[in-house]
Amino acid sequence: MIRPDNPDHPQRVRPIDPQQRAQVLVATEAWIERAAELVALPLKPVPVLFDLGGATAGMFRARGEECWIRFNPWIFARHFEDSLQFTVPHEVAHYAVYCQRHRRRVRPHGPEWQRVMRGFGLPPEVTFKLDLDGVPVRRQRRHAYRCACREHAVTTVRHRRMCEGRARYLCRYCNAPLLPAA
C-alpha cells in the first residue's frame, strides 16, 4: 500500500511555491502591525521560516531575545486560504503576547492570547481540524511494554531512555514499572 507520506503517493501535496511564501510573509507583517496597535507596543518584524513538518501548521518559538515563526509549507499548500486566515494570526498572537508580557512565561493559549485573537476578530481556537490527506506526516514507531495490569505502546524516545538506563517509567494505573514485552 502506498501511503500519503510516501513520495510515490499520487496525491502527495507539494509545499507552497515562492509566490505563496511571499504572500504569507506579507500577511505575517500585516498581522504584526495590527497586533502592535492592539497591544500598544512596537513589534519588530520577526523571521518567518517554512521548515515545519508533521501535523502542525504553525509554531511561534522564542529563545531569550531571539524569536521566530515557523510554518508548515505542506499544510499551507493544502489549505492555503485557511492558513492565511487563521494560522498566521494565531502565531502572530503568540508573538504579541510574548512581547507584551516582557518575555515572562504565560500559558500558550491563555487569556492573554485569547484577548489578542478576539482583538483580531477571530475565534481563539487552539487546533485546526483540516484534512491532512497527502501531507507528509511522520509516524513515530511504538515499542511494546508491559506492566502488572496491561500492555503499553512506548515511543522510541522513551524506549531508548529505558534501554540506556536514563529513565524508568511507571504505569499510571497500577504504579508498576514498564518492562519490555517479550
Q: What is the DSSP string of 8-56?
A: T-TTPPPPPPHHHHHHHHHHHHHHHHHHHHHHTS------EE----TT-
Q: What is the DSSP string of 65-116?
A: TEEEEEE-HHHHHHTHHHIIIIIHHHHHHHHHHHHHTTT----TTSHHHHHH
Neighbours of 131 (CB within 10 A): 8
Between CA 10 and CA 144 the distance in angstroms is 33
Question: Cell digits for 176?
Answer: 508498576
User: Can 91 be counted among the known catalytic residues?
Assistant: yes
Point out the catalytic residue in the list 91, 112, 125, 164. Answer: 91
Q: Answer for the pair 78, 134: CB distance below 8 angstroms, yes or no.
A: yes
Annotated active-site positions, please? 91
